[in-house]
């Protein structure tokens, strides 16, 4: 199913995930990639999106566009997190359906699964329990996207697939301390403390929750795998299938960064879900597995942060 001339639109191509997909496709020889900045195309605007699809006659659409953020951002802007994401994905999914796009890949998040679902998280656990309250707005939006793609697949037999990544990190990540996720936030905190005479680093929560991480370049490879192959199911988890405690993650990042100060855990701040480990056997059986180790991936990401320190500190969502 490999067609290097296929017209491929990557929604969110300037984001961390979309950018990684774009770079990989270019490296693989795909020659007809389409990307639009938010200034050029407002994905929340149905009329604009419909006109874009009518004009471009796309073969493949990869939806890597979303309003994203950590616990603080989700808690602070619940309406934007549910409404903006639903508008973006609904416009893309419906226009892809109406304009006969051959393949649609929808990217979600592991937060779609219930807070206390059995571990590791299997695809069939979707909608079997309550969500984690600190990011339920984003999760509900993403769940609706998964179900919309499933409905199109069921009713019309179209090749619409949803990929649910675990926690992603890597180059071009968001290092803004107000909106970033835990891993890039730690890299910045430990680095700045190191520069500041190895001062104390304060981290949220108890450090006991366990999390799984996947390098964004591995995520891009999973997307291309899904694009180039016809998958039997509508929903696939994407991850390493391995997790570690936030405390162990902090120790790993501290060592890689070279920070020699102390860590203070702020127990007044929320921990979030106790554990989020993905069961990645469904995609493994289809033929895909991750390649980049956490140690190597964090080292590479920290080097990218150092190379781009001035610009990344000013990045906002």
Please state, in angstroms and rounded to a whole number, the distance separating the CA atoms of residues 17 and 163: 12
Q: Which of 9, 30, 77, 138 is catalytic?
A: 138
Q: Tell whether 107 is in a known binding site.
A: yes
Q: Tell whether 18 is in a known binding site.
A: yes
Q: Tell whether 241 is in a known binding site.
A: no
Q: Tell whether 168 is in a known binding site.
A: yes
Q: Tell whether 167 is in a known binding site.
A: yes
Q: Tell whether 110 is in a known binding site.
A: yes
DSSP character string of 267-310:
TTS----SEE-B--HHHHHHT------HHHHHHHHHHHHHHTHH
Q: Tell whether 25 is in a known binding site.
A: no
Q: Tell whether 268 is in a known binding site.
A: no
Peptide bond into 120 cis (omega under 30): yes
- The Cβ-side half-sphere exposure at 101, using a 13 Å CA radius, reads 32
Residue 197 corresponds to which tokens in the numbers above? Answer: 């005479």
Q: Tell whether 70 is in a known binding site.
A: no
Phi, psi for residue 92 in degrees, rounded to 5? -70, -45
Q: Tell whether 211 is in a known binding site.
A: yes
Q: Tell whether 153 is in a known binding site.
A: no
Active site residue 138: yes
* Whole-Å CA distances, 86 to 92, 103, 156, 245: 10, 20, 21, 32
Count of beta carbons in the 10 Å neighbourhood of residue 316: 7
Across 234-248, b (16+ Cβ under 10 Å) vs e yields bbbbbbbbbbeebbe
Q: Tell whether 247 is in a known binding site.
A: no
Please state, in angstroms and rounded to a whole number, the distance separating the CA atoms of residues 96 and 92: 6
Residue 249 corresponds to which tokens in the numbers above? Answer: 């993650």
Please state, in angstroms and rounded to a whole number, the distance separating the CA atoms of residues 49 and 189: 39
Count of beta carbons in the 10 Å neighbourhood of residue 94: 16
Q: Tell whether 159 is in a known binding site.
A: no
Q: Tell whether 283 is in a known binding site.
A: no
Q: Tell whether 19 is in a known binding site.
A: no
Q: Give the DSSP H or E segment for 236.
A: strand 235-238
- Binding-site residue positions for substrate: 189, 204, 211, 271
Catalytic residues: 138
- Binding-site residue positions for NADP(+): 12-18, 107-110, 142, 165-168, 181
- Binding-site residue positions: 12-18, 107-110, 142, 165-168, 181, 189, 204, 211, 271
């Amino acid at each position: 199913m490999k067609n290097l001339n296929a017209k491929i639109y990557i929604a969110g191509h300037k984001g961390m995930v979309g950018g990684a997909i774009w770079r990989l496709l270019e490296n693989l020889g795909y020659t007809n990639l389409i990307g639009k900045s938010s200034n050029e195309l407002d994905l929340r605007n149905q009329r604009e999106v419909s006109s874009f699809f009518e004009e471009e006659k796309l073969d493949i659409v990869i939806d890597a566009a979303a309003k994203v953020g950590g616990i603080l951002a989700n808690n602070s802007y619940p309406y934007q997190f549910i409404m903006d994401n639903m508008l973006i994905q609904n416009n893309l999914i419906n226009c892809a359906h109406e304009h006969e796009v051959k393949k649609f890949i929808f990217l979600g998040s592991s937060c779609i699964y219930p807070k206390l679902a059995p571990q590791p998280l299997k695809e069939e656990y979707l909608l079997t329990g309550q969500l984690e309250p600190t990011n339920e707005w984003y999760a509900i939006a993403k769940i609706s996207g998964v179900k919309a793609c499933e409905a199109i697949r069921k009713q019309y037999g179209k090749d619409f697939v949803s990929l649910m990544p675990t926690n992603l990190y890597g180059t071009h990540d968001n290092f803004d301390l107000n909106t970033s996720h835990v891993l890039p936030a730690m890299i910045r905190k430990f680095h700045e403390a190191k520069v500041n005479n190895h001062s104390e680093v304060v981290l949220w929560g108890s450090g006991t929750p366990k999390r799984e991480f996947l390098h964004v370049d591995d995520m891009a490879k999973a997307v291309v795998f899904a694009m180039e192959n016809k998958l039997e199911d509508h929903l696939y988890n994407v991850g390493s299938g391995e997790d570690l405690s936030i405390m162990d993650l902090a120790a790993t990042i501290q060592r890689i960064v070279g920070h020699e100060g102390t860590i203070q855990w702020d127990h007044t701040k929320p921990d979030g879900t106790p554990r989020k480990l993905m069961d990645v056997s469904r995609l493994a059986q289809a033929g895909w597995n991750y390649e980049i180790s956490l140690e190597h991936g964090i080292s590479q990401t920290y080097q990218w942060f150092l190379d781009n320190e001035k610009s990344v500190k000013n990045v906002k969502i």
